[in-house]
Amino acid sequence: MISVVILGAGNVATHLFKAFEKADNISVNQWYNRHLKSIASYRNKVAITDNLDTLQIADMYILAVSDDAVAELSAQLPFENRLVLHTSGSVNVHDLDKKNRRGVLYPLQTFSKTADIDFSNVPICIETLHKPDYHIIKQLAVSIGSPAKKINSDQRRALHLAAVFVNNFTNQLYRIGHEITEAHGAEFDLLKPLILETANKIQTVSPYMAQTGPAKRGDKKTIKKHLNQLDKKQHQEIYKLLTAAIQETHASTWLSNRVSDNNSTKK
Rounded to the nearest integer, the mean pLDDT of the chain is 92
pLDDT at 255: 58
Instruction: Read off the pLDDT of residues 35-52 as tens digits, 9 standing for 90 and up.
Output: 999 999 999 999 999 999
Instruction: Read off the pLDDT of residues 209-234 as tens digits, 9 standing for 90 and up.
Output: 999 999 999 999 999 999 999 999 99
* Contact status, residue 172 vs residue 235, Cβ threshold 8 Å: no
Q: What is the mean pLDDT of residues 235-260?
A: 81
Give the domains, in start order, of the chain with CATH numbers: 2-151 (3.40.50.720), 156-266 (1.10.1040.20)
Q: What is the mean pLDDT of residues 83-101?
A: 96
DSSP 33-89: -SSGGGTGGGTTTS-EES-GGGPPP-SEEEE-S-GGGHHHHHHH-S-SSSEEEE--S
Instruction: Read off the pLDDT of residues 4-19 as tens digits, 9 standing for 90 and up.
Output: 999 999 999 999 999 9
pLDDT at 260: 52
pLDDT band at 115 (very low <50, low <70, confident <90, very high): confident
| Short-list 71, 79, 64, CA closest to 31 | 64
pLDDT band at 257 (very low <50, low <70, confident <90, very high): low
**What is the chain's percent helix, strand, coil content, to nearest 5?**
55, 15, 30
Q: What is the mean pLDDT of residues 91-120?
A: 92
pLDDT at 201: 94
| Short-list 103, 99, 49, CA closest to 76 | 99
- Rounded to the nearest 10 degrees, the angle between the axes of helix 251-266 and helix 233-249 is 80
Instruction: Read off the pLDDT of residues 147-178 as tens digits, 9 standing for 90 and up.
Output: 999 999 999 999 999 999 999 999 999 999 99
pLDDT of 97 over the 60 cut? yes
Share of the chain above pLDDT 70, in %: 94
Strands 124-128 and 148-150: parallel
pLDDT at 263: 53
pLDDT at 259: 45
CA 37/CA 160 separation, integer angstroms: 30
pLDDT of 72 over the 90 cut? yes
Report pTM: 0.85
Specify the amino acid at residue 170.
T
Q: What is the mean pLDDT of residues 103-107?
A: 96
